[in-house]
């Protein structure tokens, strides 16, 4: 590392030397000199060789242009994502016509290579997504000819220097996703050519928006989101005549959005000021431009009404004003805009009705207007919108009957009309074959539960509680793979289908005294409907209230009980076992062992891996899964074998498994220190930082191995601190990985759903996409890293009581010194820089946008470079700055 920390003067001497000598060298020699200082583990530059017989213009990543009639000269070098590291040699500036150098997406770990300013023809320099560190020095001004400078996604720190203002030709400046600090100086007066300016994701900036940005008349895109901008949006921004995209979201901006802004910025396509503290009126002028597509003001404190003129924005696709204090009638014209896709207005005080003309919104996909004062009936027109997949309007005053076509959109997945005043019957639902979640709780619905609900193939949540529904529970509901089933407090009667009591769904049946079944007050011992004599009625109702209390306990503590109870009675002898290691264990041992511990720890009861002590005295870690019997036992064995073959120091060994028709016990090797989750929950959790960092690196390595190195590539899909075991040396080991392969996708989804409906380890996109990605694991990893950094458990015992950890941290880090405040006070101050670095990584991993999250191998590298024992950069750097 020490070699990367040379004095700038020395650097320029060296580069002058290179220039002098390289002027005499041929282009292939210059390229070979450049290559000599580069580490190229993938051999991506194998064509770069005199012996390959190819002309150097054909070498990988090289583009030439004819500079005379007989000579081709190298004009561009594009080595993006070649997995390169080592030193960026100034020798490259010996190429007199080099105008573009793209080294993005590599692993260069050094300060900004100022010596490249010697490349006299250089116009484009892209170093994005490397491990570049250190401050931006004043010598940056030597890059006077640069048109494109991309330093994004590195670890550049310190203040933005005034000297950048000297890069008069710049058209594109991206300093996003770095560790810049302080206030952005007035540097823009001379950067009149700028078309794109990106200072986003620099959470340590503490700055007002510089007023001279308004001088950038050619600017088309301005990205300041998720940085530390505070204060008001300056009026001077009216000067941004060409602006089409403005993103100021997730800052700490206050005051009003100047009305004049919208009237001046006539080319605006996207305007996002969400998640600030902006107040006052809706910025009506914003809609003056004809091109507006995205408008997002959500999570501020705007108040007043929204004028109907917004519906003149005929191209509008996204309209998000949720979580404000808006009131008055919701602009009726918005409902029928031809391009509108997303309408979000929840958590305001809007009134008004949904017009039948909503049928004209042919692109409408999502409506969320929960927690307002909407009234009126749900129009027939809504059912005609065939693109609608989410309609959520809970906590309003909607009344009347549900139209028979309310669920006719073939893509409809989520309907939430709970807490309204709907009347009449629930219509038969036939067309919404993709319906996942239906909540009609707390209305005045009557009649019986439609049979057709049982035919919806993916219905997982069904909440019909607090209505006046009568009649029996349709037997067809047994067909569903429900995770939650709630019909409490209705007037239902008859026998409860067996699987709704004994199976997976968390069933809520109380408040229906005429329902009967095993475990209920009335166990249906005789199949005839019972007749209570009137003197028994008082006793019965007393018993019923007792049953509520008992029922609540049963429901909370578990359908595990039922599950086990029935299994033990019905399925003894049906167990089969496969062991990859010599083990003496029966399923009875496992079940007894899991019972004893089932209430321990602070995490959810269902999601965890249990430590079980076998009668032989051995300890094993056990995970119980519900077997839906979708996989044949051959597939099951093959899949578990795939997992059992993994050998990595950070992945726990699978010792074997037992399975019956309805359960699978996976047996993992025991780890002495138990789960990380339990450790963090303990009030005396007090690990020193170096141990926490080692744990963080280990987990990241295990995940990176699953994602990239193991064949087949696997996703973990349920990473949380409870699923990370620690050995005697605190080396972490992942458990509970890739269970989707064992139980099948559908069953996995519903197991997860039943385990942790609102788990804060799940990436936000899990709510709306079925596509499973590595980035979701990265998000969960980020949450675990936040737990290590803050010393707080991610999932508090009382979830409603506090913010989830990601939100909690994000709120704090935006304020001055806020980042320091979230760190676990029990860790020594001397490690603070490292911990802040880890916090930064955790924040990247928990980015809302999946594509902004790093890969696990990037995380491993970044964490390793934090480790002060292997990396001297921080120390070297301070001496570097003194000169
Ligand atoms: C590579 O080839 C070029 C000409 O094709 C020649 O000038 C140069 O000396 C060679 N370099 C080496 C290291 O062989
Ligand atoms: C070389 O230039 C051509 C035309 O400008 C372009 O299509 C090609 O992608 C470039 N190749 C590389 C490796 O940059
Ligand atoms: C870079 O390395 C990763 C794995 O570390 C590999 O998947 C990728 O293909 C490599 N890229 C190139 C261009 O060799
Ligand atoms: C720099 O490279 C990155 C990574 O490939 C790319 O996303 C970005 O657009 C490039 N920057 C410019 C200014 O072209
Ligand atoms: C703009 O350029 C002029 C002349 O080159 C210089 O005097 C002035 O200081 C520059 N302004 C900024 C803000 O860099
Ligand atoms: C509008 O927002 C959507 C997602 O909210 C995004 O995919 C799209 O790129 C945005 N369009 C513009 C022009 O910014
Ligand atoms: C709107 O908010 C502003 C300040 O944020 C306040 O002065 C004003 O009274 C509020 N208006 C309404 C109607 O609540
Ligand atoms: C409903 O919205 C108000 C703000 O208008 C908010 O204070 C309240 O917490 C919300 N209620 C629910 C249940 O989300
Ligand atoms: C439906 O809305 C209610 C009230 O806003 C909310 O508590 C509940 O979680 C929602 N249900 C689903 C499944 O989204
Ligand atoms: C925003 O800035 C104000 C001071 O201007 C500060 O009091 C507040 O805590 C900050 N809020 C956040 C979320 O950073």
Question: Do 187 and 213 form a contact (C-beta atoms < 8 A)?
Answer: no
Question: Do 511 and 490 form a contact (C-beta atoms < 8 A)?
Answer: yes
Position 674 scores a pLDDT of: 83
- Closest ligand by atom to 103 CA: 4
For atom 5 of ligand 8, the residue with the nearest CA is 348
For atom 12 of ligand 6, the residue with the nearest CA is 270
Question: Do 224 and 209 form a contact (C-beta atoms < 8 A)?
Answer: yes
| Structure confidence by residue, pLDDT tens digits, 16-34 | 555 545 456 889 999 999 9
CB of residue 50 inside a 6 A radius of ligand 1 = yes
For 574-681, where are the alpha helices, taking DSSP H only?
Answer: 587-597, 633-644, 676-681
- Taking the centre of ligand 1 as the mean of its atom positions, its distance from the CA of residue 57, in whole angstroms, is 14
**How would you write 300-358 as a 3-class SS string?**
CEEEECCCHHHHHCCCCCEEECCCCEEEEECCHHHHHCCCCCEEECCCCEEEECCCHHH
| Structure confidence by residue, pLDDT tens digits, 281-322 | 999 888 777 899 999 999 999 999 999 989 889 999 999 999
Ordered by start, the domain boundaries in the chain are 353-523, 584-670, 674-880
C-alpha count within 13 angstroms, C-beta hemisphere, residue 615: 9
- Taking the centre of ligand 5 as the mean of its atom positions, its distance from the CA of residue 190, in whole angstroms, is 6
For atom 4 of ligand 3, the residue with the nearest CA is 708
Question: Do 455 and 476 form a contact (C-beta atoms < 8 A)?
Answer: yes
Q: CA 74 → CA 89, 117, 120, distances in Å?
A: 16, 17, 13
Which tokens sit at 37? 């200082």
Q: Same CATH fold, 674-880 and 353-523?
A: no
- Taking the centre of ligand 7 as the mean of its atom positions, its distance from the CA of residue 351, in whole angstroms, is 18
Instruction: Say which residues have a Cβ less than 8 Å from residue 247's Cβ, sequence separation at least 6.
Output: 200, 222, 223, 224, 225, 270, 272
pTM over 0.85: no
Best of 59, 63, 97, 100 for a ligand 2 pocket test (most atoms within 8 Å of beta carbon): 63
Locate tokens 């009382």: which residue?
A: 798
Cα angle 386-417-439, degrees, rounded to a multiple of 5: 95
CB of residue 104 inside a 6 A radius of ligand 4 = yes
For atom 3 of ligand 5, the residue with the nearest CA is 190
What would the DSSP string read from start to end of 825-882?
TTS-GGGHHHHHHHHHHHHHHT-SSGGGSPPHHHHHHHHHHH-TTT--HHHHHHHHHT
Q: Three-state SS for 622? A: strand
Residues within a 6 A CB radius of ligand 10: 230, 252, 811, 814-815
CB of residue 21 inside a 6 A radius of ligand 1 = no
Per-residue pLDDT averaged across 59-78, rounded? 92
Closest ligand 2 atom, residue 63 Cα: 1
Position 814 scores a pLDDT of: 67
Does the pLDDT at position 827 exceed 90? no
CB of residue 523 inside a 6 A radius of ligand 2 = no
* Beta-sheet strands, E only, within 521-662: 576-579, 610-613, 619-626, 654-659
Best of 369, 418, 441, 459 for a ligand 9 pocket test (most atoms within 8 Å of beta carbon): 418
- Taking the centre of ligand 3 as the mean of its atom positions, its distance from the CA of residue 42, in whole angstroms, is 7
CB of residue 76 inside a 6 A radius of ligand 2 = yes
For atom 1 of ligand 9, the residue with the nearest CA is 416
- Taking the centre of ligand 2 as the mean of its atom positions, its distance from the CA of residue 63, in whole angstroms, is 6
| Structure confidence by residue, pLDDT tens digits, 144-199 | 899 999 999 998 999 999 999 999 999 999 999 999 999 999 999 999 999 999 99
- Closest ligand by atom to 816 CA: 10
What homologous superfamily is domain 584-670 in, according to CATH? Phosphorylase Kinase; domain 1 (3.30.200.20)
- Taking the centre of ligand 1 as the mean of its atom positions, its distance from the CA of residue 34, in whole angstroms, is 14
What would the DSSP string read from start to end of 354-393?
--GGGGG-TT--EEE--SSEEEEPPPGGGGG-TT--EEE-
Integer Cα distance of 77 and 53 in angstroms: 20
What homologous superfamily is domain 674-880 in, according to CATH? Transferase(Phosphotransferase) domain 1 (1.10.510.10)
Question: Do 618 and 660 form a contact (C-beta atoms < 8 A)?
Answer: no
Integer Cα distance of 497 and 509 in angstroms: 12
CB of residue 63 inside a 6 A radius of ligand 2 = yes
| Structure confidence by residue, pLDDT tens digits, 601-613 | 443 333 466 777 7
How many Cβ atoms are within 10 Å of 380's Cβ, its own excluded? 15
Single out the residue of 359, 340, 253 nearest to residue 300, CA to CA: 253
For atom 11 of ligand 2, the residue with the nearest CA is 63
Closest ligand 8 atom, residue 347 Cα: 2
Does the pLDDT at position 416 exceed 80? yes
Does the pLDDT at position 59 exceed 70? yes
Q: CA 816 → CA 579, 807, 838, distances in Å?
A: 55, 17, 18
Does the pLDDT at position 573 exceed 70? no
Best of 257, 297, 303 for a ligand 7 pocket test (most atoms within 8 Å of beta carbon): 303
Per-residue pLDDT averaged across 395-405, rounded? 96
> Of 236-245, 605-614, 744-753, where does the model show the most confidence?
236-245
- Taking the centre of ligand 8 as the mean of its atom positions, its distance from the CA of residue 419, in whole angstroms, is 13
What would the DSSP string read from start to end of 513-533?
TEEE-TTSSS--SSSSPP---
Integer Cα distance of 306 and 310 in angstroms: 8
Q: Three-state SS for 15? A: helix
Q: Three-state SS for 35? A: helix
C-alpha count within 13 angstroms, C-beta hemisphere, residue 853: 24
Q: CA 841 → CA 199, 778, 784, distances in Å?
A: 18, 11, 12
Measure CA of the first residue to CA of the last residue in the chain; give whole Å: 19
Classify domain 353-523 by CATH number.
3.80.10.10
Locate tokens 């996409």: which residue?
A: 769
Q: pLDDT grade, residue 567 (50/70/90)?
A: very low
Best of 349, 371, 394, 418 for a ligand 8 pocket test (most atoms within 8 Å of beta carbon): 371
């Amino acid at each position: 590392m020490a070699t990367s920390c040379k004095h700038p003067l020395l650097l320029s001497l060296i580069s002058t030397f290179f220039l002098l000598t390289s002027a005499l060298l041929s282009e292939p020699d210059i390229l070979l000199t450049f290559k000599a200082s580069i580490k190229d583990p993938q051999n991506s530059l194998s064509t770069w060789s005199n012996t390959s017989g190819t002309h150097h213009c054909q070498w990988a990543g090289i583009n030439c242009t004819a500079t005379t009639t007989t000579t081709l000269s190298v004009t561009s070098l594009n080595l993006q994502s070649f997995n390169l590291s080592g030193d960026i040699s100034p020798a490259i500036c010996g190429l007199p016509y080099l105008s573009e150098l793209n080294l993005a997406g590599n692993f260069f770990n050094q300060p900004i290579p100022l010596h490249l300013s010697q490349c006299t023809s250089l116009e484009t320099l892209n170093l994005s997504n490397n491990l570049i560190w250190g401050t931006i020095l004043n010598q940056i001004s030597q890059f006077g000819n640069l048109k494109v400078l991309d330093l994004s996604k590195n670890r550049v720190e310190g203040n933005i220097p005034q000297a950048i203002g000297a890069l008069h030709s710049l058209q594109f400046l991206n300093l996003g996703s770095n560790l810049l600090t302080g206030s952005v100086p007035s540097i823009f007066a001379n950067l009149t050519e700028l078309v794109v300016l990106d200072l986003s994701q620099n959470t340590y900036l503490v700055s007002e928006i510089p007023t001279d940005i308004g001088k950038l008349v050619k600017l088309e895109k301005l990205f300041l989101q998720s940085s530390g901008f505070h204060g008001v949006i300056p009026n001077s921004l009216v000067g941004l005549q060409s602006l089409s995209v403005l993103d100021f979201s997730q800052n700490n901006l206050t005051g009003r959005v100047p009305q004049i802004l919208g009237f001046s910025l006539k080319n605006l396509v996207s305007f996002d000021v969400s998640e600030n503290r902006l107040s006052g009126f809706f910025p009506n002028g914003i809609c003056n431009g004809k091109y507006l597509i995205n408008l997002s003001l959500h999570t501020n404190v705007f108040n007043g009404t929204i004028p109907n003129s917004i519906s003149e924005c005929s191209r509008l696709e996204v309209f998000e004003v949720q979580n404000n204090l808006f009131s008055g009638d919701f602009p009726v014209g918005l409902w029928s805009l031809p391009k509108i896709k997303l309408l979000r207005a929840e958590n305001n005080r809007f009134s008004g009705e949904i017009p039948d003309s909503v049928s004209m919104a042919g692109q409408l996909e999502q409506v969320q207007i929960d927690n307002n004062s909407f009234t009126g009936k749900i129009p027939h027109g809504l059912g005609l919108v065939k693109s609608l997949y989410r309609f959520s309007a809970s906590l309003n005053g909607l009344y009347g009957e549900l139209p028979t076509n309310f669920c006719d959109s073939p893509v409809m997945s989520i309907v939430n009309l709970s807490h309204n005043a709907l009347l009449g019957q629930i219509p038969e639902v036939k067309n919404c074959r993709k319906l996942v979640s239906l909540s009609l709780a707390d209305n005045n619905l009557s009649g019986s539960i439609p049979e057709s609900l049982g035919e919806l193939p993916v219905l997982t949540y069904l909440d019909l509680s607090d209505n006046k529904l009568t009649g029996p529970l349709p037997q067809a509901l047994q067909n569903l793979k429900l995770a939650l089933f709630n019909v409490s407090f209705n007037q239902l009667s008859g026998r409860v289908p067996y699987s709704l009591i004994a199976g997976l769904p968390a069933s809520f049946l109380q408040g229906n005294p005429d329902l009967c079944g095993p475990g209920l007050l009335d166990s249906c011992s005789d199949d005839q409907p019972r007749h209570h004599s009137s003197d028994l009625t008082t006793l019965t109702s007393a018993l019923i209230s007792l049953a509520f209390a008992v029922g609540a306990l049963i429901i909370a503590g578990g359908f595990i009980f039922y599950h086990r109870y029935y299994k033990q009675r019905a399925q003894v002898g049906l167990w089969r076992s496969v062991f990859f290691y010599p083990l003496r264990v029966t399923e009875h041992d496992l079940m007894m062992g899991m019972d004893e511990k089932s209430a321990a720890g602070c995490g959810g009861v269902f999601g965890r891996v249990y430590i079980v002590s076998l009668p032989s005295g051995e300890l094993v870690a056990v995970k119980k899964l519900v077997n839906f019997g979708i996989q044949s036992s051959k597939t099951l064995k093959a899949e578990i074998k795939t997992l059992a073959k993994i050998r990595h120091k950070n992945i726990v060994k699978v010792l074997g498994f037992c399975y019956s028709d309805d359960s699978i016990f996976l047996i993992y090797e025991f780890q002495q220190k138990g789960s990380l989750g339990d450790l963090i929950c303990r009030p005396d959790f007090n690990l020193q930082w170096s141990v926490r960092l080692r744990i963080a690196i280990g987990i990241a390595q295990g995940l990176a191995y699953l994602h990239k190195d193991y064949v087949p590539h696997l996703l973990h899909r349920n990473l949380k601190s409870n699923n990370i075991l620690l050995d005697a040396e605190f080396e972490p080991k992942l458990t509970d990985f890739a269970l989707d392969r064992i139980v099948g996708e559908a069953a996995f989804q519903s197991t997860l759903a039943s385990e942790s409906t609102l788990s804060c380890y799940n990436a936000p996109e899990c709510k709306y996409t079925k596509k499973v990605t590595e980035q979701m694991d990265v998000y969960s990893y980020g949450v675990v890293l936040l737990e290590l950094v803050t010393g707080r458990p991610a999932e508090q015992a009382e979830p409603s009581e506090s913010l989830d950890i990601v939100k909690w941290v994000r709120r704090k880090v935006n304020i001055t010194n806020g980042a320091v405040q979230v760190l676990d006070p029990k860790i020594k101050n001397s490690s603070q820089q490292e911990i802040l670095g880890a916090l930064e990584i955790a924040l990247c991993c928990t980015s809302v946008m999946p594509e902004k999250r790093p890969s696990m191998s990037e995380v491993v590298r970044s964490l390793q470079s934090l480790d002060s024992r292997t990396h001297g950069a921080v120390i070297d750097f301070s001496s570097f700055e003194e000169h």
